[in-house]
Structure 1
């Protein structure tokens, strides 16, 4: 019998009936609630939000100093659930985390079925991002805008907590040195037509990080939180025929 879900990394037990699993990594300063609109599964593919250190149920856990360290810890925590084809989804900052997880798994001889990266510059073009040089008041404004974009009203105390999370996450991006390109895991790079952070054409460099397919979907930077059908369909299509 498969062990119960690791309470550190997953909020629920993966289904033993799943034909594949997508581990969904929240972006900087956010928790698994950004995936609350996503279904549990589609076409026998299970979507599993990953709880990162320092947020929600893991406020007391410290984020590793590097994306590579985070990837190693995540793979160790998710290892019991790699018994079916798996993919990783990352948006913006978490696209880099997802890339490093795929690299780590490749080095262990366990390449994911596919890596999905949304609205983020490729690893070799970093550190990059307009938030890298923001001070705490500026990050507060940025976080409040993100919360409103997710359809919620910012709560001052929670914002203060998550600004510290966001600051630590940005520190990882500032220190980041990219690993070697992927050799076996294919990449799907996702752009959004109305994205004011990164235009779809800015994602072209992902081709230097592995064999990459490019798609562009309608919507703003954080449109992924709405679980658009075209995005979910593309993710499920990335798995082997069942």
Structure 2
């Protein structure tokens, strides 16, 4: 079954973090998207992400095996997909994948191949290596949310969408899963310096590499703790809610069941 999308404000679950402020923040982000003509939708799993990626190969590289349910452990319980639509068509995407590593670390999971593959011994190519030289990779453990799958249609790439999508990643990660760490990868290269301000200058270290297999590249690891995410949200929350927004907070943002 493919990803079932619902309007973001109907689908979002606030399980963690400052509930009132997060509710206001989701309204704020939905309004910012609306001003661009974009409606935000959310679903579980990675099927829709892969579908949109395949339809837009002219402007988007093939996705990592991290998002492939045929080889990865990704499923509806561990992935949240967000799509921005313009006139019903996808123009922006992002995905959050949850990992639970109570007895392991990012370095162990990355270098073993388990970060991407359900069974690395049979699914990795013979010359494929995942290398984690980043010092912080040995410290990241527990509940970890990996954020990625970022794409926007060329017609929307100068409309501050990166700021909006990064704010969505941060707030959804905190609200739904309350992770010990939220992490992302910025590919090493000339765009690193330009992208870092859009992420709000999180801590960053180089040294996450993939050689062979899906694609050879090197990236910088960025990470945030719940405290960092909360501070970003509170610092970027604007104004006092209008009366209609207070009503929508009650009606449109559902408190969740027990965290999953």
The structure number with the bigger radius of gyration is: 2
Q: Same fold (TM over 0.5)?
A: no
> Hey, which of these two has a bigger chunk of helix by percent?
1
Higher normalized contact order (CA 8 Å, seq sep 6+, divided by chain length): 2
Q: What is the TM-score of this pair, normalised by structure 2? A: 0.29
